[in-house]
Amino acid sequence: MKVFWRILDFIVAGIFIYAGVLKVLDPVQFGLDIDNYKILPWFIGVRLGFYLPWLEIFCGVALVFRVVYHGGLSILTALSLIFIGATVAAKVRGLDITCGCFGHASQHWNFGQHMTIDLAIFFALGALLWIELTGGRLDDKES
Amino acid sequence: MLRAVRQGLLLLALAALPAIGQAFYLRNKVSWESPIPASELVAVDQARAWGDSAIWIDARPDDEFARDHVPGAFSLNEDHWNELLAQFLPNWSPDKKVVVYCSAESCNAARDVAKRLRDEAQLKDVFVLQGGWEEWVKKNR
């Protein structure tokens, strides 16, 4: 079972590292994607456009190497929850937006596709967090 | 719990380092105060003063374009990008200025279409109309 959780670590980490790298290559575009949600003013959105991709990469790496693992897992879970909340809020307000989660790759995703991916990631993170908190993984190499 | 908070703070701080470095490196290429740099915006009066040397692009959805639009404007939205772009391009020439608008100041479609025209179609002199359709109606009706 330990192998299963470790594989899940790698999958989730890979998704966030991939998403982070795509966005690091064009932080202004990601800033524009954040701006599309009409939640934050531009001067914050553009700064988050530079910051969040790096945060995703660092947290992904933390999951891969199990270094500062709990911190990485907690941040990614919180980020995932925020993405879901923002996507739902945008939908409720009738905004036709691209999430920008995976750069241009996600440009033409519809709401259902956004939510499916976001929820899948969120539940995977939740499962990893749960198994850590309950000690189910029985891994003695925690940082 | 405390460990997670400590580790989280460490990650938050670490991620800031390359982000600040990248932002510093690109500081002159980023519009920090507005999503559209002032040099890419044009006011209604100025765009109208360009007369025939301006081509108007309506980036709103098809139904809004069908209801009303700037006289002579071409519809070019991201829903039917390839098809509408093919209709628009034969009407463009390098000496023309392209003015893109969407519904209002707060909409993003004009900005996105203008960006794609610059990046994908390699057009120069592409501007976003300040205040969009709403402003144009105010000044013209």
| Together in a domain, B68 and B116 | yes
| Together in a domain, B2 and B61 | no
Q: What is the C-alpha end-to-end distance of chain B, expressed in Å?
A: 62
| Together in a domain, B11 and B48 | no
ipTM associated with this complex:
0.82
**B11 and A143 in contact by Cβ < 8 A?**
no
Q: Read off the tokens for B54.
A: 């301006």
| Together in a domain, B48 and B64 | yes
- Could you list the residue range(s) of the whole structural domain that residue B124 is in? 38-140
Q: Which of B2, B9, B14 to mutate to test the interface with A (most CBs of A within 10 A)?
A: B14
**B10 and A51 in contact by Cβ < 8 A?**
no
Q: How far apart are CA A142 and CA A107, in angstroms?
A: 38
| Together in a domain, B45 and B111 | yes
Q: How far apart are CA A8 and CA B136, in angstroms?
A: 53
Q: How far apart are CA A39 and CA A85, in angstroms?
A: 11
**A46 and B108 in contact by Cβ < 8 A?**
no
- CA angle in degrees (0–180, nearest 5) for A8-A9-A13: 115
Listed by start position, the domains of chain A span: 2-133
| Together in a domain, B2 and B60 | no
Higher pLDDT, A138 or B76: B76
Q: For chain B, what is the domain count?
A: 2
Most confident of A43-52, A96-105, A131-140: A43-52
| Together in a domain, B21 and B61 | no
- Is A105's pLDDT higher than 80? no
Axis crossing angle, helix A111-133 with helix A2-24, rounded to the nearest 10: 130
Q: How far apart are CA A100 and CA A128, in angstroms?
A: 25
Q: Which of B4, B12, B108 sits opposite A36 (nearest CB)?
A: B108
| Together in a domain, B14 and B62 | no
| Together in a domain, B118 and B75 | yes
Three-class HEC string of B71-105: CCCEECCHHHHHHHHHHHHHHCCCCCEEEEECCCC
Structure confidence at residue A143 (pLDDT): 43
Using one digit for the tens of pLDDT, what is the confidence trace for A77-94? Answer: 999 999 999 988 888 887
Q: In this prediction, what percent of chain A has a pLDDT beyond 70? A: 85
**B33 and A42 in contact by Cβ < 8 A?**
yes
Using one digit for the tens of pLDDT, what is the confidence trace for B85-139? Answer: 999 999 899 999 999 999 887 778 898 899 899 988 899 899 999 999 999 999 8
> For residue A69, which residues of chain B lie inside 8 Å, CB to CB?
7
The alpha carbon of residue A4 is apart from the nearest alpha carbon of chain B, in Å, by 23
Structure confidence at residue A1 (pLDDT): 74
The alpha carbon of residue A104 is apart from the nearest alpha carbon of chain B, in Å, by 12
Q: Which of B15, B108, B111 sits opposite A54 (nearest CB)?
A: B15
Structure confidence at residue B139 (pLDDT): 85
| Together in a domain, B8 and B64 | no
